[in-house]
Structure 1
Amino acid sequence: MATEEQARRLVDVLATELTSRSGAVLRHDRYYRGKHPLRFASDEFRKYCADRYEGFSDNWVQPVADSPVERLTVTGVQAPGQVKADADLWEVWQRNGLDADSQLGFLGAGNAARAFVLVWGDPDDEDTPCVTFEDASSAIVQYEPGSRRRRRAALKMWQDGYSDFATLYLPDEVWKFERPLSAGDKKSPQMAEADAVMDSWTPRETGSEPNPQPNPMGVVPMVELPNRPLLASEPVSDVAGVIAMQDAINLLWALLFNNADFASLMQRVVTGAEIPKLPILDANGQKVGEKPIDLKKFVTDRILWLENPDAKVDSWPAAQLDAYTKVIEVCVGHIAAQTRTPQHYLVGKMANLSGDALIAAETGLVKRVEEKQLWFGQALREVFQLICLARGEDAKGKALAAGSVLWKDPQSRNIAQLTDSLLKLKQIGFPFEWLALRFGLTPTEVAVLMDMRAHEAEQDPVAAILGASGGAPPGPVPPVPPDPAPADAGVP
């Protein structure tokens, strides 16, 4: 067990690391929301045009981040040796609203390179632990040296009012701390250091609850979901590599808009004539001088008088803006190739593609989703283990270490081709329940479907037998005609 001083020092270290990560997390979040600064522009262009295009962004970061998440759907968890998904654990998943929250967690992991899941028992409902997805800006896990899986400690930190709050999770206990919010950079370094000493973490008042309190689960109850992990480095965000090209696209649009303002219309030019002038008259109506006429009047009235016979009128052609749009399309194509996002997700142009061509176009995205299923599934398997530990089902949790998380098929399929392939698999002996899962139903929906089939079999067993054998579909059985009488019937 840790002493208060050891726990406070560990919280300081983890909070500092969490703060150092927060810069990249917040930057990626801003880009996902479309809040992009104008970059890669010259100082002169930025000086005159940055305010004009402030708030504009042609946001390609969002579809890149969203495209794999829409195909990441957990449908259950299955222990080794079992043929069906675990109904009790799925009920805990559903009661915690994780159908929706898991999507938020997967999106957060893609944007910030990681997300976290926290599991803790509910004293009001021992069978349904609390399971929450946590953002990378508020949670962090410390691993044992040399390991990417064995967790030594975890910290969850947040702000409320004028205080920072932190909860430190250790394998055998949980500490809760708080401290006043820092005044930031408004004070001198010496005064800031003095405030840091006075405003250090102190144990939080928890009422009748002990602080620290024991951790009955015996392990750190927070799991990290890494996005694109590397052997010797930090996980990689899906949007980190898109930001540079996103900035380039925004600059190209700013240049296009700027040219659209000044050069997208044909310009008229007059040569060989002086600028028209208006006479200045005194009180008696006598001309006492001249002043240039406001050329805007000619633009408004669309009329110009030329008295000089040598004057000529010519024009400058309008600027061709498609040069910018062609480069933008190339940039978007690079984003699609680098992130394995189908071009029809980004460009929005659909030709008359066949089903096979569409599947081929989405192969990169499907592989990307399957990679996420692999890494996220490994983490979620540990989450289900924690749920078992919180429920007091240690043996079941240990067995789930070799289990598997079930996912919805990420591939888009032609329904006619899928049905035809399943029918062929049925004919060579594949069981109906497996085919229903392959069709895309969740384990819960398959269980309901099997109950319906059993009910139909009770109502019409003959049709059920014929349907199960691959013969005629279930339905009324036609009457069997009597055998014809022999030719010598009735002859003595």
Structure 2
Amino acid sequence: MADTSPASLAKELLAILDRDEGRLQRIDDYIHGKHDDPYMPPQADDEYKLLAKRAISNWMPLLIGTPAQALYVDGYRPGKAASGLPEASSSTSTQWSHWQRSRMDARQAAVYRGALGFGHSFVLTEKTKKGVTSKGLSAKRTAALYEDPANDETPYAALTIVTKPKVDSPGKARMWDGKNEYAVTYKSLSDLDSVRVGGAKRHGASECPVTRFAASVDLEGRTIGVIEPMIALQNRINQTIFDLLVAQTYTSHEVRYATGMAPPMQMEMLDENGNVVTDPALAVDSRPKLDAAGNPVPAQINHNARRFLFAEDPDVKFGSLPAGPIGSLIDSVDMSIRHLAAISQTPPHHLLGQIANLSAEALLAAETALSRKIAEFRSLFGEAWERVFRLAAELEGETGAADDFTGEVQWRDMESRSLAQAADALGKLADQLGIPKRGLWKRVPGVTQTEYEDWEQMAEEDDSIGQLATALTRATPETTSVPATPDAEVIAA
């Protein structure tokens, strides 16, 4: 039987962080532009090394940012709780109040970028002095254990590093299991004998309060992001750009040459005693100037397009070497970037910037693969957010909402289309298909959950006023007015 004591769990979680440290650090380096150097000769000089440094062209942040910028949770619609309570208002629900308290409108982006970059990130939901809040945890500092890592959404235990060890103090970490939280200290990730686990305290939830956000999980439970598979392609692009810079520096310009001619030397003047002088009046002789090694120093030649080269010796020949073509290297860079776009499902015009003369249909076709990719991320991250909302409700004491598996995360529509196009499409859906107009309000571009609920409230108020006016009209008796005539006046008299 496996040892599930807190000390054993802490050691296993720290061992996972130690095992994955090198891999995650390499991914982090590539995200921040610290790439492997392109190949160069072992005897490369400083100029070669400078070109290699300038050849680094970091495309990795774009591969993360493109899908991450389309992921934005704009609301949460609670379902009918297990206790049979009616559906709650989205903006006033306990779950959404916890979201706003946690400032997740801004902080959610870091959770997505971490998951897309490293393959997974985590969110911790806990009680604080300000109430129930959630915060993101980095994959480089956090590890989780699952009984079935491919299918379980609830970890058996999780640990995150708070402070790393120093020379005079051990590292500190926090660990959670299904009931308790523990304080953990350690001297290094590889020194498992130094791990110490403090006393347990209840965290208030019925399961581990850490939720994993995975960009992709296979049936072995392995997670992979968008960066690691692209490292080889990134290295290829860097190498091609390095070759382009070398060719551009050394062969892209026409080289002029002269043969059969020695360069002029710098001369220095000597007096009658053989000493070097600078006054021509004292000079009686001259000799070539020597460097520290005793070699003659060539004179600098001021040559430009306005000067001619000439020599007295008829055997001297002047000529030029043509510039080498670099068009093939430019095409190779373009091809490598297109490969990167195809494999990463990123539209080529996002990477190359070539959007001229593209029709709306062509742009839509280019965005199709990215839209499918974003839809997959929304389904994966949406399930994770729903667990976070259930944990928040449970920690707030709402047992019914804690068992609510019918709640739904609402993602903001980030497609770029004009309001006039959306209004025309929504109008056709209402008129031709008979879809209720209120059911289409949420599909208005840019509408938030709060705005939607304000519209509902205003519509209900307008309906109430209209119903009241109708009721008053029906309750008021109709009066028939008789026009005044002279005969009527006589009869009345």
Please classify the TM superposition score into its range, dividing by the shorter chain length. 0.7 to 0.9
SS at match of 2:74: strand
Amino acid paired to 1:70: Q
User: Please, which of 247, 251, 257 is the counterpart of residue 239 of structure 2?
Assistant: 251
Which residue pairs with 1:490 in the alignment?
none
Q: Are 1:371 and 2:393 matched, yes or no?
A: no
Which residue pairs with 1:14 in the alignment?
13
Amino acid paired to 2:160: K
TM-fit CA distance, 1:251: 2.1
Which residue pairs with 2:48 in the alignment?
49
Which residue pairs with 1:480 in the alignment?
none
Q: Are 1:448 and 2:454 matched, yes or no?
A: yes
**Does the CA-based 8 Å contact 2:430-2:436 persist in structure 1?**
yes
Compared with structure 1, are the counterparts of its residues 342 and 167 closer, same or farther at alpha carbon in structure 2 (3 Å cutoff)?
A: same
Q: CA–CA distance in 2 between the matches of 1:181 and 1:20?
A: 13
The within-5 A match list for 1:75-224 is: 75-80=74-79, 82=87, 85=90, 87-88=92-93, 89-122=95-128, 124-125=129-130, 128-145=131-148, 148-149=151-152, 150-159=154-163, 162-180=169-187, 197=193, 199-203=194-198, 211-224=199-212
**Does the CA-based 8 Å contact 2:150-2:220 persist in structure 1?**
no
Compared with structure 1, are the counterparts of its residues 289 and 242 closer, same or farther at alpha carbon in structure 2 (3 Å cutoff)?
A: closer
Compared with structure 1, are the counterparts of its residues 373 and 212 closer, same or farther at alpha carbon in structure 2 (3 Å cutoff)?
A: same
Compared with structure 1, are the counterparts of its residues 421 and 202 closer, same or farther at alpha carbon in structure 2 (3 Å cutoff)?
A: closer
Q: What's the % identity of the aligned pairs?
A: 24
Q: Are 1:263 and 2:251 matched, yes or no?
A: yes
SS at match of 2:228: coil
TM-fit CA distance, 1:327: 0.8
RMSD in angstroms over aligned alpha carbons?
A: 3.1
**Does the CA-based 8 Å contact 1:270-1:314 persist in structure 2?**
yes
Q: Deviations over 1:413-471 (max 9, x none)?
A: 35433221101112143233321211232222211233344566678x59x99xxxxxx
**Does the CA-based 8 Å contact 2:38-2:239 persist in structure 1?**
yes
Compared with structure 1, are the counterparts of its residues 302 and 342 closer, same or farther at alpha carbon in structure 2 (3 Å cutoff)?
A: same
Q: Deviations over 1:199-237 (max 9, x none)?
A: 43252xxxxxxx311232111110111111111251111
**Does the CA-based 8 Å contact 1:252-1:328 persist in structure 2?**
yes
Which residue pairs with 2:398 in the alignment?
393
Q: Are 1:404 and 2:408 matched, yes or no?
A: yes
Which residue pairs with 2:486 in the alignment?
none
**Does the CA-based 8 Å contact 2:150-2:219 persist in structure 1?**
no
TM-fit CA distance, 1:6: 2.5
Q: Are 1:436 and 2:436 matched, yes or no?
A: no
TM-fit CA distance, 1:260: 2.7
Compared with structure 1, are the counterparts of its residues 164 and 170 closer, same or farther at alpha carbon in structure 2 (3 Å cutoff)?
A: same
Q: Deviations over 1:19-73 (max 9, x none)?
A: 2222222222221122223134454458873355337521111111100000001
Q: Are 1:230 and 2:237 matched, yes or no?
A: no
User: Please, which of 225, 229, 233 is the counterpart of residue 241 of structure 1?
Assistant: 229
Number of residues of Structure 1 aligned to a counterpart in Structure 2: 438
SS at match of 1:297: coil
Amino acid paired to 1:425: L
TM-fit CA distance, 1:116: 0.5
**Does the CA-based 8 Å contact 2:184-2:195 persist in structure 1?**
no
Q: CA–CA distance in 1 between the matches of 2:149 and 2:369?
A: 33
Compared with structure 1, are the counterparts of its residues 339 and 178 closer, same or farther at alpha carbon in structure 2 (3 Å cutoff)?
A: same
Q: CA–CA distance in 2 between the matches of 1:46 and 1:341?
A: 38
Amino acid paired to 1:20: R
Amino acid paired to 1:174: E
User: Please, which of 416, 423, 427 is the counterpart of residue 420 of structure 2?
Assistant: 416
After TM superposition, the structure 1 stretch with the greater mean CA deviation from structure 2, 341-350 or 313-322, is: 313-322
**Does the CA-based 8 Å contact 2:10-2:195 persist in structure 1?**
no
SS at match of 2:208: coil
Compared with structure 1, are the counterparts of its residues 269 and 221 closer, same or farther at alpha carbon in structure 2 (3 Å cutoff)?
A: same
Amino acid paired to 1:109: A
TM-fit CA distance, 1:256: 2.3
Compared with structure 1, are the counterparts of its residues 343 and 177 closer, same or farther at alpha carbon in structure 2 (3 Å cutoff)?
A: same
Q: Deviations over 1:351-406 (max 9, x none)?
A: 1333332222111111100000111111111111111111111221112x233221
Q: CA–CA distance in 1 between the matches of 2:460 and 2:302?
A: 86
TM-fit CA distance, 1:265: 2.1
The within-5 A match list for 1:293-308 is: 294=298, 296-299=300-303, 304-308=309-313
Normalising by structure 1, we get a TM-score of 0.80
TM-fit CA distance, 1:154: 1.1
Q: CA–CA distance in 2 between the matches of 1:394 and 1:7?
A: 28
Q: CA–CA distance in 2 between the matches of 1:222 and 1:380?
A: 11
After TM superposition, the structure 1 stretch with the greater mean CA deviation from structure 2, 413-422 or 447-456, is: 447-456
Q: Which of these two proteins has the greater Rg computed from alpha carbons?
A: 2
SS at match of 1:446: helix
**Does the CA-based 8 Å contact 2:265-2:299 persist in structure 1?**
no
